[in-house]
Amino acid sequence: MHLLNEKAFVNGEWISAKSNKVLNVNNPATGEVIGTVPDMNAEDTQKAIEAASEAFQTWQDTTAKQRTQYLRKWYDLLVLNQESLVKILTIESGKPLIEARGEVVYGNSFIEFFSEEARRIRGEIIASPFANKKILVEKQPIGVAGLITPWNFPHAMITRKAGAALAAGCTCVIKPAEDTPLTALALMQLAAEAGIPKGVLNVVTSDRRHAPEIGNLLCESPLVAGISFTGSTQIGKLLYRQCSSGVKRISLELGGNAPFIVYKSANIDHAVNGAMVSKFRNCGQTCVSANRFLIQNEVYDLFVNKLVMEIKNLKMGNGIDSGVNIGPLINKAQLDKVSSLVDDAVSKGAKLLIGGKQASQYGELFYEPTVLTDVSENMRVYTEEIFGPVVNIIRFENEEESLKIANNTERGLAGYFYSQDVAQIFRVSRKLEVGMCGVNEGLISTAEAPFGGVKESGLGREGSHHGVDDFTHMKYICLGNL
């Protein structure tokens, strides 16, 4: 726990809020306070922006090789301190150790990937129609990037954004979620130890009350060139509007409503295993979590019975304890939301097969893994993103009906389906209106693949070689009179 810091990180220094106010960080599994961090506001954030802007003046001139070396040193330290990061992540997010370990490995992989990608950000030479002119195109960093990250993946959402930004030559002001700021600060300590120059990475911590003013400043400040946000669609739309005044570059990774379709030709055991991974990872609190389970008539009973049996094997509890594989929800607001969605469905005729209530014997924020059947369109779980350990199952007859239901949403982040019919695999993967599609696979995230959605699930892509696009702009250079 030597990485547990209780100060914000601005311009290479550990600082308090100007007001000296702090906010408590609680362990959602136990409710205990595990630390405090500065409760900063727009005035504090302005100093971080100015530090990042000043640092950009020299950071943008570093060579790709130099940026590769900085990122590689950071990655090596992340690996060396992996278990410390895992413990901090577990106690502030509630994730079981096995999941926290998986996130840290996943998050570290982005720093490794972008350390390599820094040397592959290439321009081009275009054939000129004129003999005495040469057309060059090069990619340049946009400037200061404001990174606003969520609580459900406090490590990976920062590294996925910051790794790409630094590789491109940008500097960053990071606003982590108020529920999980300690992981962000641990990452900054290791970045500083890696020698990344002061001002290149800055972290501003705050309570929910100050989040709107900080977000507005990042969006409207003339010193900030772009925003990268992961969070709710509602907040994403607000940031989109705020960025419009400066025609600012913006990347949005927003809410999902992922369908999980099981066709009659599917390998049911594989489908059940994929469902467990997709639905119950982080207690269902992932943006790519399966949200609507569409099961074809012919395999409906078999799938449901096997899924319920697997759910009964889940072990709830404090994530720090051995063997636990499902922890608490992040806060009371999330618990109340999940409870109200289930209560609404049951009151309107949904059948409760398992779960359906708080698991208060484990703690105040635990909710039982739940399965609902006979789900219909008038229920909120049919259309809303649950973000909790609730499976709502819808029966369908044919492929056309499954696609109609799956695409009948304003969201389009991830989608999953199981089939052994090759022709169907190509048809459905093409027609499913999502940015990412898992075919016979429930875990699709990796640093090498582009992550992002369509419709109201966002703009841009993170990860992969496309991940640097939101942090670069193209400059056309015409050399004449040659």
Catalytic residues: 253
Within 10 Å of residue 267's Cβ, how many Cβ atoms?
14
Q: What share of the chain is helix, strand, coil (3-state, %, to 5)?
A: 40, 25, 35
The first and second tokens of residue 291, run together, are 């949200």
The answer to whether residues 39 and 22 touch, using CB atoms and an 8 Å cutoff, is: yes
DSSP string, 69-103: HHHHHHHHHHHHTHHHHHHHHHHHH---HHHHHHH
Residue 326, strand partner residues: 316
Please list the residues that pair with 45 across neighbouring strands.
Answer: none
Reference 438, options 414, 471, 405; nearest CA is 414
DSSP 281-331: GGGG-STTSEEEEEEEGGGHHHHHHHHHHHHTT--BS-TTSTT--B---SS
β-pair type (201-203, 224-230): unpaired
> In angstroms, what CA-CA distances link 119 with 65, 169, 194, 196, 221?
6, 11, 19, 17, 30
Distance CA 442, CA 331 (A): 26
